[in-house]
Amino acid sequence: MNLIVNADKNWGIGKNNELLVHIPNDMKMFRQTTTGKVVVMGRKTLESFPNGMPLPNRTNIVLTTDQDYKAKGAIIVHSKEELLEELKKYPKEDIFIIGGESVYRMMLPYCTTAHVTKTDYAYDADTWFPNLDEMPDWKITAEGEEETYFDIEYQFLKYERQS
């Protein structure tokens, strides 16, 4: 299973239910990586999308404790157990955890690959991703060139769990 995230230098990922930064090349990489795949998110992440709509050309799975929650075009699950059962229907390599913080933390133990866009700036964040650099079983296995968008420096990194 994969996860995909944009994190700042302190592993911050969001504030007020919005991304910390919008980098067109990062959005393009996200689209290319997840199109045709399964994306797993929490309710607040779904609601942060344009019009609160599921992402097109993907299987959207939304985890929420709200038993009455509906989202047209998305599969709704209400517990970790229900989510794991639903995910058995798909090849593990086609599953991408896309946020937010609590879903990342819950699903990290099930993931073997992390696609991280690391932004070289410390934003004012209120949600964070676990610091993979401090976890001995996660190692960087691929690094893109450092890139710049206006004055924002960022880099695409691939982390893999070492068994």
Domains of the chain: 20-161 (3.40.430.10)
Which residues of the chain are under the pLDDT cut of 50? none
Q: What is the pLDDT of residue 47?
A: 95
> Hey, what amino acid is at 97?
I
Q: Are 8 and 119 in contact (CB under 8 A)?
A: yes
Q: Which residues of 5-16 are buried (b: 16+ CB within 10 A; e: fewer)?
A: bbbbeebbbbee
Neighbours of 117 (CB within 10 A): 22
Considering the entire predicted model, what is its pTM? Answer: 0.97
Q: What is the pLDDT of residue 163?
A: 78
Report pLDDT digits (tens) over 94-132. 999 999 999 999 999 999 999 999 999 999 999 999 999
> What burial class does residue 33 get, using C-beta atoms within 10 Å of its C-beta: 0-12 exposed, 13-18 middle, 19+ buried?
middle
Q: Which residues, including other chains, have CB under 8 Å from residue 26's CB and lie 6 or more apart?
A: 6, 117, 154, 156
> What burial class does residue 85 get, using C-beta atoms within 10 Å of its C-beta: 0-12 exposed, 13-18 middle, 19+ buried?
exposed
Residues linked to residue 158 through DSSP beta bridges, in sequence order: 115, 142
